[in-house]
Structure 1
Amino acid sequence: MTGFARVRQTTPQAEIVLSIKSVNHRGLDMHFHMPPELDPLESELRSTLKRAIARGHLQIHLLFSPTPESAPAPLNRPLLDSYLRAYREAAEAYQLAGQPDLNSALRLPGMLGAATREELDESVAGAVLAAAREAAVLLNAVREREGEAIAGELGERCRAICGLVERMEQIRAGSVPAFQKRLHEKLSDLLRGPSIDPQRLAQEAAILADRSDISEELLRLRTHTEQLAGMLAAGGEVGKRLDFLLQEMNRESNTILSKTGGLGDLGLTITELALAAKSEIDKIREQALNLE
């Protein structure tokens, strides 16, 4: 699920801002963007976040600003000399007027030295890890609200599928008379006469009905759909179980479609309803990628 959280922690030595941006992902994939002096904390950060977050592609940004009192910034004199020399050479070569700007020079990467890992006390490491824990809690709260909204939408789609199944069951219940009529018309045309043995007609219709019977598929489709709706209502982690149920629901829909070819107008109606059910299943599958 998607989400964003930002936390600020302040210690006597530094101010720390940690943000986490999450997008959909089947597993847990973390990418860190932080100053080199905090690189030794990456392993602990990964462990901390892994305990709190199960899935998602995470972009973790960590800003670290030492206070002037704790980390005076030493001037990189060789780099400044190189900058001034390059400035003068460019001015002379291109006959440009002007003076070097000190503010611009000091903003150059590496011009002001950064605190080293050895200079960071335990309070900084503790603040970074505390920020990670707090950000994970905030992120999960955002993702949980999104998950509840998605679960509500999926519940509506489950109810829609159950409604489609009910309509197919009603049509199936009246299928045998329709089979008899269709078979009678076909045999009458072949024999060029209206006289057909009613008992033989009923037997042939029953055979045709059995080959095209979708009662078991409808029952399983309804059962799987009700299981999915109940699982969503119960909450908790549903990702893998939901994937399995959707596969089963899709299989039953395909089987229903494969059996409706010989049902005439009834078959066309059932086909339309089964295709509508498959469409709902596909939409659930797309939205399910956002759930854990």
Structure 2
Amino acid sequence: MTGFAGVEKSSEAGNLSLTVKSVNHRSLDMHFHLPNELEGLENGLRELVKRHAARGHFQVKIVFTPAAAGIGTLNRPLLESYLKAFREAAAQYGLGGDPDLNRLLLAPGMLAGERSPDAGQAMADLVFGAMQEALEALNAFREREGAALAAEMKSRAVKILNATSRMHALRDAALEAFAKRLRERLAELLAGVALDPQRLAQEAAILADRSDIAEELTRLKVHASEVIAMLEAGGEVGKKLDFLLQEMARELNTILSKSSALGEAGLDLTSLALDLRADVEKIREQVQNLE
């Protein structure tokens, strides 16, 4: 499921801004955008994500601003090397003037600030604390989204379950009408031919039975009930639901195939089966967002 969470933290170590984004993905995939000084924490952050999510594509971005250090101490050897280089260049090329001390003091490494021996651990604690907070907020968001999604899927599954009763009634009426039409048509075609009326009725019944959907409706009802039960139970049900929905789609395709053979008598069945198949496909799309 999709989600977003952002956390900002401050401590003696510095200021931190952390964001976590997640989108749907069949497996667990992670990408980190970390400043150089925090790259050593990536493995630990990955393990933290694994404890909070089973699948999804996660993007983690951290911006860290270290706390300003004191003036520090002058790096005299470095300063002397700069001055020596200046003098040598001035003598060699006949240049005059004096070096600008203000510029020299801004050179990288010229002023070495004192760093607390615990600064590294303080920074790590700040990052992991922010990550934990962000993942908890993200999961709360995903759970709310998942609950709303499950409720919608359950509503569609209940619709399918209730529709099986109407389809049974339509099936009974359609088969009766189809068998009657077969008997009448056979009687017309075989007019003047000596046939046992009972045998004629049996043949018509056999043909009508080939279009019977009673077994498919029974399996469809069972599958719909299982889908509802899984959604109510919760947990990691995505793969199981997808399998059941494939079976439901297969039953509805068979129903459509058989109902089309019933001619006009099966039009209502065909229309209802098409509507239910659209519901099954919609649920299958939504299942991809569940874990």
How far is the alpha carbon of 1:205 from its aligned partner? 2.5
Measured against aligned partners, the alpha-carbon deviations of 1:217-258 in whole angstroms (never above 9, x if no partner) come to 111111111111111111211111111111111111111122
Measured against aligned partners, the alpha-carbon deviations of 1:1-30 in whole angstroms (never above 9, x if no partner) come to 111111222221111221111111111111
Aligned length: 252
The residue that corresponds to 2:187 in the other structure is: 188
Q: Is the counterpart of residue 27 in structure 1 residue 47 in structure 2?
A: no
The residue that corresponds to 1:68 in the other structure is: 68
* 1:13 and 1:70 in contact (8 A); partners too: no
SS of the residue 1:32 aligns to: strand
**Amino-acid identity (%):** 52
SS of the residue 1:207 aligns to: helix
The residue that corresponds to 1:222 in the other structure is: 221
Letter in 2 for 1:36: N
* 1:221 and 1:252 in contact (8 A); partners too: yes
TM-score norm. by structure 2 comes to 0.79
Letter in 2 for 1:230: A
The residue that corresponds to 2:271 in the other structure is: 272
How far is the alpha carbon of 1:133 from its aligned partner? 1.4
Q: Is the counterpart of residue 141 in structure 1 residue 140 in structure 2?
A: yes
* Aligned counterparts of 2:26 and 2:248: Cα–Cα separation in 1: 21
Q: Is the counterpart of residue 259 in structure 1 residue 247 in structure 2?
A: no
* Aligned counterparts of 1:204 and 1:20: Cα–Cα separation in 2: 68
Q: Is the counterpart of residue 129 in structure 1 residue 128 in structure 2?
A: yes
The residue that corresponds to 1:44 in the other structure is: 44
* Aligned counterparts of 1:70 and 1:40: Cα–Cα separation in 2: 25
* 2:175 and 2:212 in contact (8 A); partners too: no
The runs of at least 4 consecutive aligned structure 1 residues that moved more than 6 Å come to: none
* 2:4 and 2:20 in contact (8 A); partners too: yes
The residue that corresponds to 1:98 in the other structure is: none
Task: Give the direction of change, closer, same or farther, for the CA distance of 1:71–1:193 in structure 2 (3 Å limit).
Answer: farther
SS of the residue 1:15 aligns to: strand
* 1:164 and 1:274 in contact (8 A); partners too: no
The residue that corresponds to 1:289 in the other structure is: 288
* Aligned counterparts of 1:174 and 1:263: Cα–Cα separation in 2: 11
Q: Is the counterpart of residue 15 in structure 1 residue 15 in structure 2?
A: yes
The residue that corresponds to 1:94 in the other structure is: none
- After superposition, residues 75-224 of structure 1 pair within 5 angstroms as 121-192=120-191, 197-224=196-223
Letter in 2 for 1:45: L
SS of the residue 2:235 aligns to: coil
* Aligned counterparts of 2:185 and 2:279: Cα–Cα separation in 1: 36
The residue that corresponds to 1:96 in the other structure is: none
Task: Give the direction of change, closer, same or farther, for the CA distance of 1:222–1:175 in structure 2 (3 Å limit).
Answer: same
* 1:5 and 1:19 in contact (8 A); partners too: yes
Task: Give the direction of change, closer, same or farther, for the CA distance of 1:234–1:70 in structure 2 (3 Å limit).
Answer: farther
* Aligned counterparts of 1:174 and 1:57: Cα–Cα separation in 2: 51
Letter in 2 for 1:246: L
SS of the residue 1:10 aligns to: strand
Letter in 1 for 2:218: L
Query: Unpaired segments of 5 or more residues in structure 2?
Result: 75-105, 107-111
* 2:29 and 2:55 in contact (8 A); partners too: yes
How far is the alpha carbon of 1:202 from its aligned partner? 2.4
Query: Unpaired segments of 5 or more residues in structure 1?
Result: 75-105, 107-112
